[in-house]
Structure 1
Amino acid sequence: MSKVTRDGSKSKGCRYGVLLGVVLLAGCSQPQAKAQTQSGGAGTIEAINHTKWAINHFSVNGQSGIDTIGPFDGGGGGCCYGVPSVWKSGMTARIDWETGVGGSKGFPGFADREKYKAWKKQVDTQKKQHSAVAVLPDYTGQKTCGITVHFLPCDEVKVTTSCFTYGSPSYPIKLPLEMKEPKVCPK
């Protein structure tokens, strides 16, 4: 039961109790707790970008991958992603991302506001929103460690839950880092 002071406000003890409750609830609502209870192995959300475009932001099933990823680069670090302990055919992950210019070519600096605004407008016009559903590969009998999203030319993605790092002989996706986009993308 909360104490109310003469002026009608709640006492410090009550405010600290409410604050503690909010902190505890916030900790309980983190995706990591969900991933640990359903997971065959939880880990971070990582990405490898095989394109000339920057990945401004991305998410897997609504969970942020955190980093901006430059062209032909890797990154991520969002927490957390876990898969069910038993793989089933047809399992998927929804990937949402934004691409944009992968560099600062033509950046005029901030001194001339009009030149900066014109440059920023040009950069912003090249941003595109994307969404794809990727099939989770069979991980039966394997340790899983989060998810790694591979951003490919033609706005395609591949994913893996492998614990091996990109480029290692045991890593399941063997695509080169720098991939050229074809003149016509298959649809």
Structure 2
Amino acid sequence: MKVFRAGMALAGLMLAGCQQVPAQAAGGTIEAVNHTRWAINHFSVNGQSGIDIIGPHQGGGGGCCFRAPARWQPGMTVKIDWETGIGDTDEFPGYGNREAFLAWAKKVKEAKRRHSAVVPVPDYTGQKTCGITVHFLPCDKVKVITSCHIYSDPQYPVKEPLRMPEPAACAR
């Protein structure tokens, strides 16, 4: 009888533990689409690195991993941290002229900006999820999606063009 009670207590603990761990949807990589003229030097989602530098008007990423909860809940958000910088290296003077190189390196360093935003995760109820894609938009705006469709697919939920016009001034 003691063995039976111990077994039932253990089963109860195991069930309680399972109920406390949220079910997970399919996971995947952390990707990004950069709609701006700035390079994304690095970025992260909830502290998890997106890996690659992403040039202006390009896609990239590939960090591992993002796993959305099995059920979307109203108010779900993720924190995106990123650094922008000069995306055009046409002005790179090479290493032959030290003064020109140092001036260029200073310009690159001064152009770097750190950003952070907490953004809503759109409702993915009834849809398969595949990691997360961060869309960097002009004026330091960010959107995220968990769609399995690729950016060029007509069913992809973000419709902004890759080369978005940037306003002369951003609303703050």
Distance 2:23 2:169 in 1: 41
Sort the Cα spacing of 1:114 and 1:61 in 2 relative to 1 into closer, same or farther, 3 A: same
Equivalent residue for 2:114?
129
Distance 2:24 2:73 in 1: 13
Over residues 38-81 of structure 1, what are the superposed CA-to-partner deviations in whole Å (9 max), with x where a residue is unaligned?
A: 52110000000000000010000000000000000000000000
Choose the corresponding residue for 1:76, options 61, 67, 73.
Answer: 61
Q: SS of the residue aligned with 1:72?
A: coil
TM-score where L is the length of structure 1: 0.78
Of 37-46 and 163-172, deviating more is 37-46
Q: Is there any run of 5+ residues in structure 1 with no aligned partner, and where?
A: 1-36
Choose the corresponding residue for 2:94, options 93, 105, 109.
Answer: 109
Q: CA deviation at 1:123?
A: 1.1
Q: SS of the residue aligned with 2:116?
A: strand
Q: CA deviation at 1:117?
A: 1.3
Distance 2:120 2:142 in 1: 9
Q: CA deviation at 1:114?
A: 2.6
Q: SS of the residue aligned with 2:108?
A: helix
For these two proteins, the number of residue pairs brought into alignment is 151
Task: Tell me how large the CA RMSD over aligned residues is.
Answer: 1.1
Q: CA deviation at 1:121?
A: 0.5
Q: CA deviation at 1:111?
A: 2.1
TM-score where L is the length of structure 2: 0.85
Q: CA deviation at 1:104?
A: 1.2
- Give percent identity, aligned residues only: 63
Amino acid at match of 1:153: P
Q: SS of the residue aligned with 1:116?
A: helix
Q: Is there any run of 5+ residues in structure 2 with no aligned partner, and where?
A: 1-21
Written as runs of structure 1 = structure 2, the 5 A alignment for 1:163-174 is 163-174=148-159
Equivalent residue for 1:184?
169
Choose the corresponding residue for 1:161, options 107, 123, 146.
Answer: 146
Amino acid at match of 1:39: Q
Amino acid at match of 1:152: L
Q: CA deviation at 1:112?
A: 2.4
Over residues 3-41 of structure 1, what are the superposed CA-to-partner deviations in whole Å (9 max), with x where a residue is unaligned?
A: xxxxxxxxxxxxxxxxxxxxxxxxxxxxxxxxxx75211
Choose the corresponding residue for 1:119, options 100, 104, 111.
Answer: 104
Equivalent residue for 2:41?
56
Equivalent residue for 1:175?
160
Distance 1:100 1:68 in 2: 10
